[in-house]
Amino acid sequence: MIKGQKAVIALEDGSTYVGKAFGAAKTVVGEAVFNTSLNGYQEILTDPSYFGQIVTMTATQIGNYGINADDEESAGPKVSAFVIHALSPIASNWRSEETLHNYLERHNIPGIECVDTRAITKKLRVHGVMKACVSTENISPEEAVQRARDWKGLVGVDYVKEVTCAKPYTFNFDREKCRTFTVPGTHLYKHKHNPRSFHVVAFDFGAKRSIFQKLIDHGFQLTVVPATTTAKEVDALKPDGVFLSNGPGDPAAVTYAHESVRELIKRYPVFGICLGHQIITHALGAKTYKLKFGHRGGNQPVKNIETGRVAITAQNHGFASSKDTLEKAGAVVTEINLNDNTVAGLRHHSLPVFSVQYHPEAGPGPNDATYLFQSFYDLIDQSKKTPALS
């Protein structure tokens, strides 16, 4: 038990912040990022897109409603370390099964509290994301800075292979249990009950469980496949459509996925989100680039250029698609992030292919973009009524 002992987070620029430890006794390195969500810390911890990253939460107190197995987005936390201002002394919620401290300790993830998270966030916003080290093992701040500087970083690194599934499987889940969680007597979101099922092959680049649950809820049957699955192997599964999930790391490094998707978009309706959106970008022959500090939180405004509709979205990514190269590659930019005008959505000018740079399943986050799952269903349905892709 190391809770309350001295801990440190150090950035590559030499900045150090000393606080108190919780979770596991461990020293780790990773990319320092921040998330502006007010809740959903368990979903953030277990989102595979955070693999290799040290996450700072901007909300003041974390851990107040505990942890429960139903809210996990994957098998345990995927962050390298967790940085917060204040750890709640109690976990008070009827769904809670254990405290945040015990959860991180059990999964061997270090946490640090009682540091100035606003100062860390401001530094990352001004200077960009940095390599970092978190230690709850009482190493010196100077050693922590050196370990941060020695880390190789994320650019050019394929982390997808670290989080993808080992082999194909059928995602079986009770459809009623896939609906948006609500307190009895309320209902946050309604959609039509699709009368038939479509078989979708879902690429697991580091997918969140709630994404697959949304697909099930909208009438899809899912075969989940590893990131390295080839187009020929997908053909053998005879899908009606292909889904490309979120995931961690540099999208330019996942070249095997670019090759598979380049073939698949010629034959199937395709829907991609987050990393899946970026992989479609590369498959079309366009490029991605690293953002200064990324988009991570549940309050990112996105405008659909074609409809004028504005949605508040949940996002978690550090790379973006290049608008100029997309348009040259035959894609139509459909949505933009209103904070910085980066590309937030695209569709192919003639093929049934579209993608978004956010999380329409919204776990955590708002429900504004849930309609996209219905759009995917309608796209497949329409493709069945038109001549085969060639």
Catalytic site residues?
A: 274, 359, 361
DSSP symbol at 144: H
Closest CA to 317 of 343, 348, 338: 343
The answer to whether the beta carbons of residues 270 and 245 sit under 8 Å apart is: no
Q: Are 251 and 334 in contact (CB under 8 A)?
A: no
One-character DSSP codes across 183-244: -TT--S------SS-EEEEEEESS--HHHHHHHHHTTEEEEEEETT--HHHHHHT--SEEEE
One-letter amino acid of 378:
D
Q: Name the CA radius of gyration of the chain, rounded.
A: 21
How far, in Å, CA of 266 to CA of 352, rounded?
A: 9
The alpha carbon dihedral of 250, 256, 259, 265 has a sign of negative
Query: Alpha-carbon distance 354 to 345, whole Å?
Result: 7
CA distance 303 to 301: 7
Strand partners, 30: 132
Contact 362, 370 (CB under 8 A): yes
